[in-house]
Amino acid sequence: MQKINIKDVIKGSIAEELGIQKGDKLISLNGREVIDIIDYRYEMANEFVQVEIEKISGERYVFEIEKDYNEDIGLVFEEEIIDRPKRCRNKCIFCFIDQLPKGVRKSLLFKDDDYRLSFLQGNFITLTNMNEEEIDRIIKYRLSPIYVSIHTTDGDLRVRMMRNPNARNIMENLKKLVNNGIEVHGQIVLCPEINDGAELDKTIKDLSDLYSGVKSVAVVPVGLTDHRHNLYPLRPFTIDEAREVVEQVSSWQEKLKARLGTSFVFLSDEFYVIGDLPIPDYDHYEDFPQIENGVGLMALFKHQFEEAFQRRKRLVRRSNKPYLIVTGIAAYDFMRNISQKLKSIGFDIEVMPIVNKFFGKNITVAGLVVGKDIIEQLKGKAKGKTLVIPRVMLKEGSDIFLDDVKVREVEDALGAEVIVSEVDGREFLQKIYRGR
């Protein structure tokens, strides 16, 4: 059996009460080897658990624990999933990681394709880097929902797009999952003249036939940086092409709403921005099943902001700071419209769009704006002001941009304060009112 190093023990937990310490090792649960976090959670769901621990001294103890159903005992491991994440072996023609500029830190270059992270964090997987045993494991442990990058249901085209012969059997794998009660949310990265047009029609048709096992599908435009040297020749969508995609998907939504009771397939906000089209209303996105994919993010933000604004505009504000709202090119007009409401009640507020020089001008989303670009483009324009940036610009759980520049470095370079807000209209308004 493998020995799993215990990184830490949560204070006040059952494990701490038992004397389990950082540096001890987990040997087994209920007499079974623990391969990863899925095994751990499955065994830990019981109300009675036998935990075998090897102390730093080498001595082994078996603790018999009575606890609440699904209660954790407080062990923290080196990796969130205990095992190491599984690496993607695809060579997708649109892979964003292959387009990163030279010199980025190694952690950004790791391509994960791990079904456990799909279940735990909502990461998209391709099902191409899995064997039958792992698919069976998803079914056995009821790892639902999971998120799958589909792109096309045509097996031959999917092989060409992902450059992996295992990509061909996507429909067989999806059917096996949904026929065994696993809920799937799908993603299509749409590439002009490759999987759009009639191919997109076929893909939507095939996937909608698997509803409600396949619960929703997001269509997002391919993201292209300026660092595609020696990579497959791809181009971005034109304004007219984006409008055609919106019209095509809208037609499907109307038909599927009548047949299934749901629009089922949703476009990311970027398609409406590229096509210079209005973002659909809040109700269009139903229960926002693909919000993490940028699908309906603007509509939700606007809804949250306007609800909070109606309540707060009658209140006395606590801040008279001059604000600079920092965003990407894609959200500039949207955030400018939001700021007009704040200007109407006396706030000193501007919106500053940042051109993405780090990744390239075709990358327009706020989440990929980096610190160096902010410093370079706001030098001399931000002194004494308060910058408001969305948290998606920063690495999760940190104050560091994707180019390793820290928030403090931006403040020092510009002589400005930086406020970080979640992409949430209520919190954004609260930050503006309070000035922090």
Cα(184)–Cα(316) distance, integer angstroms: 47
- What CATH number is associated with residue 235? 3.80.30.10
Same domain, 128 and 234: yes
Same domain, 310 and 418: yes
Please list the residues that pair with 157 across neighbouring strands.
none
Same domain, 134 and 182: yes
What b-and-e string marks burial along 339-377, b requiring 16 or more CB atoms within 10 Å of the CB? beebeeeebebebbbbebebbbebbbbbbbbbbbbbbeb
| pTM (whole model) above 0.85 | yes
Same domain, 141 and 255: yes
Is 84 contained in some domain? Answer: no
Is 92 contained in some domain? Answer: no
Q: Can you give the pLDDT of all 436 residues of the chain as single tens digits?
A: 789 999 999 999 999 999 999 999 999 999 999 999 999 999 999 999 999 999 999 999 999 999 998 899 999 998 888 888 899 999 999 999 999 988 777 777 888 999 999 999 999 999 999 999 999 999 999 999 999 999 999 999 999 999 999 999 999 999 999 999 999 999 999 999 999 999 999 999 999 999 999 999 999 999 999 999 999 999 999 999 999 999 999 999 999 999 999 999 999 999 999 999 999 999 999 999 999 999 999 999 999 999 999 887 666 566 788 999 999 999 999 999 999 999 988 899 999 999 999 999 999 999 999 999 999 999 999 999 999 999 999 998 899 999 999 999 999 999 999 999 999 999 999 999 888 8
Q: Is the dihedral of CA 356, 358, 360, 362 positive or negative?
A: negative
Is 156 contained in some domain? Answer: yes
Cα(134)–Cα(247) distance, integer angstroms: 39
Choosing from 275, 294, 313, the residue where a domain stops is 294
Same domain, 320 and 288: no
Same domain, 170 and 287: yes
Residue 416 domain boundaries: 301-434
Helices 297-312 and 425-434: crossing angle in degrees, nearest 10, is: 40
Contacts of 404 (CB under 8 A, 6+ apart): 105, 371
Tell me if 194 sits within 8 A of 238, measured CB to CB: no
Same domain, 400 and 316: yes
* Backbone angles phi and psi of 343, in degrees to 5: -65, -35
Same domain, 382 and 341: yes
Is 26 contained in some domain? Answer: yes
Is 200 contained in some domain? Answer: yes
